[in-house]
Amino acid sequence: MKRHNLNAALAATLLVLAASGAEAAERSGGCIEFAWDVRAEHLLFAMNPLPLAAGVDRATTPTVTVDRLYQLHLQRHADVTFPMPPGVRELRAEGFGGLAQLQVAVPGTYRISADQPLWIDVAFNGALLKPLDYQGRRDCTNPHKIVEFQLPMGVNLTLQISNATSAEARISVTPAPEPAR
């Protein structure tokens, strides 16, 4: 009788572990295979986003902060006045875009993450900052794409989102983890 109870308890424990693993995989969009350490991004994308209307010009550009998940409501490209032409080769006429302002308190490498295929630029001082690197996972949404930039501190930076396939995009900005030594 005791052995039967032990087997039943073991089976129940295995079911709970399998369910929690499936729940974690669902929260991460089923994808944790980024080459980078993306734990911070996965944690943010598991949270409820703050809804925010993306700007269509400098006067309407909202501010985003580091370590927060936003649900940006984007507009058709034709309705957005980008401070700098987006860096994407071809701006899709049917695509969505928008602007957000960012300022970081500490200079360094930051990641801008999105839940869908879209183009991410950072405009500063009349130019686009060159991305350091990027990664994406085709079947992932939590996040789908991550772009790293070296950001200066204490200045207004403009995030330019373009070529989104949907008018709603989840976006976050996180400091890149220090490389392992």
pLDDT above 80 (res 4): no
Structure confidence at residue 137 (pLDDT): 66
> pTM, whole model, 2 decimals?
0.80
Q: Report residue 27's pLDDT band, with 50, 70 and 90 as the boundaries.
A: very low
Every domain of the chain and the residues it spans: 31-175
Other CB atoms within 10 A of residue 43 CB: 16
Closest to 29 measured CA to CA, from 38, 91, 125? 38
Q: Report residue 70's pLDDT band, with 50, 70 and 90 as the boundaries.
A: very high
- Class of the 31-175 domain? mainly beta
DSSP string, 110-165: EEEEESSS-EEEEEETTEEPPPSEEEE-TT--TTSEEEEEEE-BSS-EEEEEEEES
SS3 34: coil
Separation between Cα atoms, residue 138 and residue 3, nearest integer Å: 47
Separation between Cα atoms, residue 141 and residue 97, nearest integer Å: 18
| 7 beta partners | none
- List pLDDT tens digits, range 39-64: 888 889 899 999 999 999 999 999 99
Q: Report residue 26's pLDDT band, with 50, 70 and 90 as the boundaries.
A: very low
